[in-house]
Amino acid sequence: MWRADPDQTPGTQMARDEDLWRAAQSGASAGRVYEWNDAHVTLGFNQSTALMDKANIGWTRRPTGGKAVLHGHDVTLSLAMPLTALGLNADSRSVKVAYRAMANPLIRALNEVGIPATLAEETPFVRGAGKVADCFAHVSPNDIVHPATGQKVCGCALAIRNCAVLLQASVPVRTPLVDPATLGLGGVSMFSPCQATFDDWVLALNRASDL
């Protein structure tokens, strides 16, 4: 089941997501909804730490891939599931299949809490932004966007380990605490205002998921 996690300390967030991932390797599906107590950047698993040399902000490496994500103004979601719950196994570990199976419930939940959302490939707004390190400055066909504007409303990153998959997602819902453009990551400032409470998020996610 999805649950709200009140802990907002950057140092614990990735460790708690790792705990979910380990539990999923033992067969347990679970998701958490959380926030951050200050502006903070997570780097994708394979991103260079040199990106943060000139950025005056705390940062943490994620266990998932993808580009850098600025937190502190977002609702962050993490979901860990055994591959078998997605119809996959150790011999058929399709990242695309796993992502679609986990992203579709997120899209339904986003719409329920008042943030219009769909996959970018279903819109005319897929675009690249050149060589940038910021997750929200680039829109690929698999990204989750506003259907009318193409604005990216949720950044997702996924990783598969052994027999389980972890999805981490960020939904910017307030004005950023720092201007992303000042971090040197090619970032952009965008968010989708949302007044949903944690209880609203958890309810919507549980309705949209089969956990």
pTM for this predicted structure: 0.93
The residue among 131, 113, 211 whose CA lies nearest residue 167 is 211
Minimum mean pLDDT range among 35-44, 48-57, 81-90, 106-115 = 81-90
> Confidence band (pLDDT; 50, 70, 90) for 189?
confident
Query: Each residue of 116-157: pLDDT tens digit?
Result: 999 998 888 776 555 688 898 888 888 999 999 999 999 999
Per-residue pLDDT tens digits for 82-103: 999 988 877 777 788 899 899 9
Residue with tokens 């991103």: 47
- Residue 36: the pLDDT is 95
Q: Tell me what pLDDT residue 127 has.
A: 65
What digits encode the pLDDT tens for the residues 3-41?
999 888 988 999 999 999 999 999 999 999 999 999 999
| % of the chain at pLDDT higher than 70 | 96
pLDDT at 43 over 90: yes
Q: Domain spanning 2-208: which superfamily?
A: Bira Bifunctional Protein; Domain 2 (3.30.930.10)
**What is the overall mean pLDDT for the chain?**
91
- List, as one string, the DSSP characters of 130-195: SS--BGGG-B-TTSEE-TTT--EEEEEEEEEETTEEEEEEEEE-S--SS-GGGGTS----------
Instruction: Say if strands 74-82 and 164-172 run parallel, antiparallel, or are unpaired.
Output: antiparallel
**Residue 130: its pLDDT value, please?**
57
Q: Give the pLDDT confidence score for residue 129 in this predicted structure.
A: 54
> What pLDDT is attached to residue 171?
98
**Residue in this structure with the two tokens 């971090």, named with its chain if needed:** 183
**Extents of the domains making up the chain:** 2-208
pLDDT score at 44: 95
